Amino acid sequence: MSGRLVIVGLGPGAPGLMTHDAEAALAEASDILGYGPYLARLSPLPSQRLHASDNRQELDRARAALDLAASGKNVALVSGGDSGVFAMASAVFEAIETGEAAWCTLDVEVIPGITAMFAASARLGAPLGHDFCAISLSDNLKPWSLVESRLRHAALGDFVIALYNPASRARPWQLGAAFDVLRGILPPTAPVAFAQAISRPEERIEIFSLATADPGRADMRTLVIIGSRASRLIARPAARPWLYTPRRVNSA
């Protein structure tokens, strides 16, 4: 088939955090598909067609992109952050596996982007400097019991934990429930960082202890990082402290 599908990570929001490869792929596309607010970040050429869809229509969006590519179009499918982290790349390959046999012959490429946990970590200092994991708190596509199990095991393993999708209007309780799980395992002094709208004009970063962290501080634009037992705060005069996790593990 002559069509092409490029799955593009747009980064966390600031134009400077979009990669050159992502910009080049978008410039070459005839059609660009994505969640409406992500498409609103773009400045399309007059010849390009934008196809917006709702946030919960990932598989339908992936199939539409594959159909356009199969018809000979040069298609870009966008995600915020990195398209391979809780985003559209997985949906595309799921659609290919379960869909039209001809889709397996398409030219499909994944262009990486800067995901929220890396952008937030850079703002904070280096909280992901040692072993870490990422967990989505959304139970739209998996049972909450599985989320709780993964949180418990991550805390027992003493990973730094990056929480995606911590809260929304439809899911206001999950972050509080996650904190309850973690408070049963981690020390109350474990640092908790709320990184909201990273790299955008409305960016807000706050650091609390696990004992005092208020789940009401988070929304869908927020990335929450919970430090491990080794994570440290470095106080600074008249500035937010740096948060980092040493690379060296003290085995004593």
Q: DSSP per residue over 39-95, as a string? A: HTT----TT-EEEEE-TT-HHHHHHHHHHHHHTT-EEEEEESB-TTSSSHHHHHHHH
What's the N-to-C CA distance of the chain in angstroms?
60
SS3 130: coil
> Which spans in 133-173 are helix H?
144-156
In sequence order, what are the residues at sequence separation of 6 or more whose Cβ sits closer than 8 angstroms to the Cβ of residue 12? Answer: 80, 81, 114, 115, 116, 119, 198, 199, 200
SS3 142: coil
Tokens of 185: 């395992």
117-244 CATH, one of 3.40.50.300, 1.10.8.420, 3.30.950.10, 3.20.20.140: 3.30.950.10
Classify residue 102 by its DSSP letter: G
Full-model pTM: 0.93
Ramachandran angles phi, psi of 8, nearest 5°: -115, 130
Measured at the CA of 65, the angle between CA 59 and CA 67, to 5 degrees, comes to: 105
Predicted confidence at residue 252, as pLDDT, reads 46
Q: Extract the residue ranges of the chain whose pLDDT is less than 70.
A: 1, 251-252
Specify whether domain 4-114 bears CATH 3.40.1010.10.
Answer: yes
Q: Are 150 and 135 in contact (CB under 8 A)?
A: yes
pLDDT of residue 140: 87
* Cα separations in angstroms, 149 against 6, 181, 187: 35, 9, 19
Q: Where are the domains of the chain?
A: 4-114, 117-244
